[in-house]
Structure 1
Amino acid sequence: MKKFVAILSDMEHKIREGYFGPGRKLPSVRSAAEEYGCSISTIIRAYAELEKRHAIYSVPQSGYYVVEKSGDWRSETVSETIDFASASPDLDVFPYLDFQHCLNKAIDTYKYHLFTYGDSHGLETLRQTLVSHLAGDQVFAKAERILISSGAQQVLEILAKMPFPNGKSTILVEQPSYDLYLRYLEAEDIPVRGIARTAKGIDLQELEEQFRSGGIKFFYTMSRYHNPLGTSYSVEERKAIARLAGKYDVYVVEDDYMADLGAERFDPIHAYDRSSHVVYLKSFSKIIFPGLRLGAVVLPERLLKTYHKYKNYPDTSLLSQAALEIYIKNGMYERHKHKIYGLYEERMRELNEALRRHNEAGLIEAADVRYGVYVQFKLPKTVNIERLIKRLAERKVSVVSGKPFYLADFAEREKFIRISVSRAQRERIGEGVRAIVEEVRRGNGW
C-alpha cells in the first residue's frame, strides 16, 4: 500500500509541476514499472486512479496522456502578491472530487440517519475508524475516549472553562503561541501565564518550576511544526514534558493540528504519557480543507464526564463526519496526506535554499525547518516591524508580524515575522525571500 501511495503521489507531483505537461504522453506501463521498481499491476492501478481523478486519459492502442484543461483557471486565482501570510491550505490541492465521492457514498450508506441531530460525542463509526488511524501516530485510545469536535478551537475553549481534577486554575501557554487562543483567554479573563519557547526549544528547568509551584491546570503546547516558530520538540523534551506532568499533577493539552504535514517519524507527547495527563488534539482541516471544520480530541478517563457536561450538544455535521470516515477507510486520506506534505516539503526546501543565497550577512535568523508550513524569521532589534511589513506590502510581499502571538503582558519577546509557505508559489519563493532580506537590510541601516 505504501509503495502504491508513494508512486501515485510522485506521478501527481510531476503532472502538477509540469514535468508531464498538458497533452503529453506518459511513460508506458512497462517503462514506468521499471522506473519505479514495481510490478506492472501497481502502475496500471496508479494510472487508473489518475484517470478517475481526471488528471489523465487513455487512448486505446496508444497509451495515457495528461488532460489538457480549457484555459488555465489557476491564472485567475493566482495573486500578484507573494503570499507568506496565509495559513490555510493551498486551494490547488483541495481533494474536491475525492471528497465529493465520499459525500455521495455517505448519503447512500447512512441515508436518513445523517439528517438527525446525532450524538454529541460524534459519529460512532468515525470514532471507531479513528482508533486505528490515531494508532498510526502512536496515540492509542479506545473509541470511548475519542470525541469529535468542530475543530481544535472549540475543544480548547471547553478545556479552558471546565474544572480539572487537580483543582488548579492557571493555564500555561508557550510564548509565542496560537494567537486566537491567546486572545480568547485574555478576553474571558481566564488565568493564564506564559513561558518562553524559542526555535531552540524550551527551558525544562523553568517548566518544572512552573509545574511545581505555579498552580497550573494545564500546559498548552504544539509539540511539532509549531505556529509560529515552525519547529518541533526533541524526543528528550517530549519525554520530559510527559514525565513532569505526572510528577506534578499538571495536564498537558497537546495540539497536534499539523500531525500529517511531515514525513519524519514523530511520537507525540501522548505516546510517553504514563499517568493519563495528556489531552491530544488533532485537526483534519490542514490536510483536506478548512471548511470541513472537523477535529478529534482524545481525553484521559478522568476528564470525560466533566467534558461531556460542558459539551452536551452535537455541533458537527453528521454528513461531514460520515464522509470523513469513508475518506479515511478508503485510503484517500493517506494518499492525499503524502501529496500535501510532499508539496510543502518542496516549498520549505526552496525557502531554506533562498535564505542561504540571499541572507549571507546573517541579518535574519531562521531554524532549518523542513516540514510543516511555518518558519520564524528572527529580525535585528533595530528593525521596525510595522515599517518593514508596509515596505514589503508595497513590493507585493505579504508577511505576518510576530507580535500577536504573545500575551499582552509577556515581556520576553523575540522580534520576528512569521513565514508560511502554504499559499506561496514555489517559483516565486526566492524572489520573496530576496525582497525580505533587502528590506531588513534597509531597515537595519545598511
Structure 2
Amino acid sequence: MAIQHVFSIFRLQPAAGTLVQQLVDAISRAAQEGQLSAGERLWSIRQLSRELGISTFTVAEAYDRLVATGIISARRGEGFYLAGSGQGRPELDSLPPLPAHAFWLADSLYEPPPDAIKPGSGWLPPAWFADMGLERGLRQVARSTSGGELAGYGEPGGLPALRDYLVRELGEAGLPLSRQQLVLTQGASQALTLALACLTRPGDCVLVDDPGYCNLVIGLPLHGIQPLGVPWTPQGPDLVALEALLEQHRPKVFFTNPRLHNPTGASYSAATAHRVLQLAEKYDFWIVEDDVCAGLSASSVPSLAALDGLRRVVHVGSFSKTLSPGLRVGFVAAERGVAEALIHHKMVYGLTSSELAERVALAALSDGQQRRRIARLRARLAEARAQTLSLCARQGLDVFAAGSEGMFVWARLPQGCDGVALSAEGVKEGVMLAPGALFRPGQQASDYLRLNVAYSAEARVEVFLAQHLGGLQG
C-alpha cells in the first residue's frame, strides 16, 4: 500500500474517539465506499503502525475487532485481507426458488421474516421467559465465579451441582438415581443424538411416534437409520399397531414422547404406559423417553423412567420449555453403563457441554422462585390453549386430544385442504405454520397442522386461516 493511500483512508484525530475505534471505522468506511476491494490485502500490523505513527497494539486490537465482525479476514502466514462481499458467485442469484416441501418449511420456522408470527413454532415466545430469573442468574454467576473457572471445558458429565439438583428433582418425581446416571447435554436434541449413537448402528430400524418430533424423524435417515412410525391415539401409541411392528421388525429402540406429545399434545394414559413397558420386556428393546415438556404438565402421572427404574428406559429432559431455549441445557438419565457410553459419545462428537450455561441455569433454578414461575407459565398456557381451541372451532378445525394441556394443538384441516400448500402461502404472508407432513416418517401426507397456543391467539392467524382454508380445498 502506498503512503498516500494510507492517509487517504485514515484521518486520525485525537478528539474523535479512541484510536482503535477510528481505525475500525476508517476501514469499514473504505470498504463500503469502494476504496478497498473485496479480497484486497491490507497493511501488516507493523506497516500500518509505522505509517500512522501509532502503537502496534492499537492496530492489532482494531484488526481483531474487524476480524470478529467479519469485515476483514486473517490468513495464517499471509496477513489480513478485506473479506469477500459475497460477489463473485453470480450463479447463486440465478438459482430457482426452493420448492414448498417439508424441509424448507421446517427451516423457515427458524428464519422467519422480522414481522412474522409463528403459530407453527416449537418454542414459547421469548417474552414468556422474562421473569424466569435468567438476568439474576447471570449476575450471580458473574459475581461468584472467576474468569479462570469458566475458561476450562468442565466435567464430561456436566456441572456436578446441576446434576445434583436434578437428582433431587427427579427423585421427588419418583425416579431415584445417582449423579453418575445423569449426563448434561447441549439441549434435548443432542441428548437424542447421543442416545441414537449409543443404542443403534447404521442399517438398524427404530420405532418413532407417528406423528412425532420433526427433528428426529427427519434426522434419522441421515444416520442410516430406518424410522418406522407407530400410529398415535389420544391415549398414546396404538398398542395393537405397536405390537405388530415389534413382531415383524424387532427394532432395537422406540423413541417416544409420552407427556404433552409434540406435535399432538396428547399424553400416555397409565394403562398405555404399563403396556409399553411390558412390550419392551417381551420384545427386548430400549425406550428413549423424550420428556422435555414435563414441567408444563400438572399431571401426577409418573414418567416411563420412574415406572421402569431406568432398566430399559433412557430418559431425556430439558429446560428449554421452563427456563429458556437459548441456554441449550438438556440432560439424559440412564442406567450406569448407558450413562458412561453417553459421556464417551458426547466427548467424541462435541466435547463437554457449556458449563457457563449450566451455571446460569442452576442459579435461576435455585433462587426459590421456580415453582411459582412454573405455576404462572402453566396458567398462561391454559388460557392461550382455550383461545386456540375456540379459534379451531370457529374455523372448522377438528382437534386431536382436545382435553390435553400444554403448548401444542393438533388441528385437522377441512377435507381437501393441503397443509403444505397452506403453509407455503403462510410463508409469503408472514404466518409461519407447521404442516403435519413435517412430523411423519418420510414426510408422508397429512391433513393436520401443529398449532402452538402461545402464538395462535393473534388476530392475524385467524384472518389468514379464514382467507385461505376455503381456497385450498378440492
TM exceeding 0.5: yes
Please say which of residues 260-269 and 191-200 is displaced more in the overlay.
Answer: 191-200
Scaled by the length of structure 2, what TM-score is found?
0.69
Contact 1:374 1:420 in 2 (8 A): yes
CA 1:298–1:384: 2 relative to 1, 3 Å: same
| In structure 2, distance between residues paired with 1:125 and 1:409 | 41
Cα distance in 1 for partners of 2:302, 2:226 equals: 30
Indicate whether 1:182 and 2:214 are aligned.
Answer: no
Query: Does structure 2 retain, via aligned residues, the 8 Å contact 1:211–1:250?
Result: no
Q: Which whole-Å CA distance do the structure 2 matches of 1:189 and 1:167 have between them?
A: 5
Q: Is 2:435 the partner of 1:401? A: yes
Per-residue displacement from partner, 1:155-205 (whole Å, max 9, x unpaired)?
2112222246x9994221111111112222112212332222244532212
- SS of the residue aligned with 2:454? coil
CA contact (8 A) 2:305 2:313 kept: yes
**2:417 aligns with one of 360, 383, 394:** 383
1:158 pairs with 194, 198, 205, which one?
A: 194
Segments of 5+ residues of structure 2 without an aligned counterpart are 1-112
| Residues in 2 aligned to 1:401 and 1:236: alpha-carbon distance in whole angstroms | 30
Q: Percent identity?
A: 25
Q: Call closer, same or farther: CA 1:186–1:99 in 2, change over 3 Å.
A: same
Cα distance in 2 for residues equivalent to 1:419 and 1:79 = 20
Is 1:443 the counterpart of 2:436? The answer is no
Of 146, 156, 168, the match for 1:120: 156
Instruction: Show CA shifts across 1:204-252 (max 9, x none).
Output: 1221233344221110001112111121111111121122212222110
Q: How many residues align?
A: 359
The structure with the largest alpha-carbon Rg is: 2
What is the deviation of 1:119? 0.7
Secondary structure of the equivalent of 1:210? helix
Tell me the alpha carbon deviations over residues 244-299 of structure 1, each in whole angstroms, 9 at most, x when there is no partner. Answer: 21222211001011111132323111121157000111110122222100001101
Give the whole-Å Cα distance in 1 for the aligned partners of 2:227 and 2:420.
Answer: 27
> What SS does the corresponding residue of 1:116 show, helix, strand or coil?
coil
Distance in 2 between residues matched to 1:371 and 1:153, nearest whole Å:
23
Counterpart of 1:342, as a letter, is A
Q: Following TM superposition, by how much is the alpha carbon of 1:143 offset from its aligned partner in structure 2, in angstroms?
A: 1.2
Q: Distance in 2 between matches of 1:409 and 1:389?
A: 14
Q: CA deviation at 1:146?
A: 1.0
2:138 to 98, 103, 116: 103
**Paired residue type of 1:403:** A
Q: Tell me which residue corresponds to 1:221.
A: 256
Structure 1's 274 and 398: CA in aligned 2 closer, same or farther, altered over 3 A? closer
3-state SS, counterpart of residue 216 of structure 1: coil
What displacement does 1:95 show? 3.5
Secondary structure (helix, strand or coil) at the match of 1:423 reads helix
Change (3 A) 1:162 1:394: closer
Encode CA deviations 1:283-334: one digit per residue, 9 max, x unaligned. 1012222210000110123413322322236432212212222222222332
The answer to whether the Cα contact below 8 Å between 2:182 and 2:333 also exists between their aligned partners in 1 is yes
Separation (CA, whole Å) in 2 of partners of 1:414 and 1:201: 18
Q: Give the match's secondary structure for 1:83.
A: coil
- Could you say which residue in structure 1 is the equivalent of 2:38? none
- Other structure's SS at 1:307 match: helix
Query: 2 CA distance for matches of 1:167 and 1:249?
Result: 19
Give distance in 1, aligned partners of 2:336 and 2:203: 18
SS in 1 for 2:265: coil
Residue 35 of structure 1 is matched in structure 2 by: none
Greater alpha carbon shift after TM alignment, 129-138 vs 277-286:
129-138
CA contact (8 A) 1:174 1:195 kept: yes
Counterparts of 1:353 and 1:363, CA distance in 2: 10
Q: 1:86 to 1:98 in 2, by over 3 A?
A: same
Q: SS where residue 450 of structure 2 aligns?
A: strand
For 1:345, give the aligned amino acid.
Answer: A
- RMSD over aligned Cα, in angstroms? 2.9
What is the alpha-carbon distance in structure 1 between the residues aligned to residue 278 and residue 141 of structure 2? 42
Q: State which of 308, 312, 315 in structure 2 corresponds to 1:280.
A: 315
Which shifted more, 137-146 or 124-133? 137-146
Do structure 1's residue 245 and structure 2's residue 276 form an aligned pair? no
1:332 matched residue in structure 2: 369
Query: In the alignment, does 2:286 pair up with 1:254?
Result: no
Tell me the amino acid that sits aligned with residue 436 of structure 2.
G
Q: Secondary structure at the match of 2:228?
A: strand
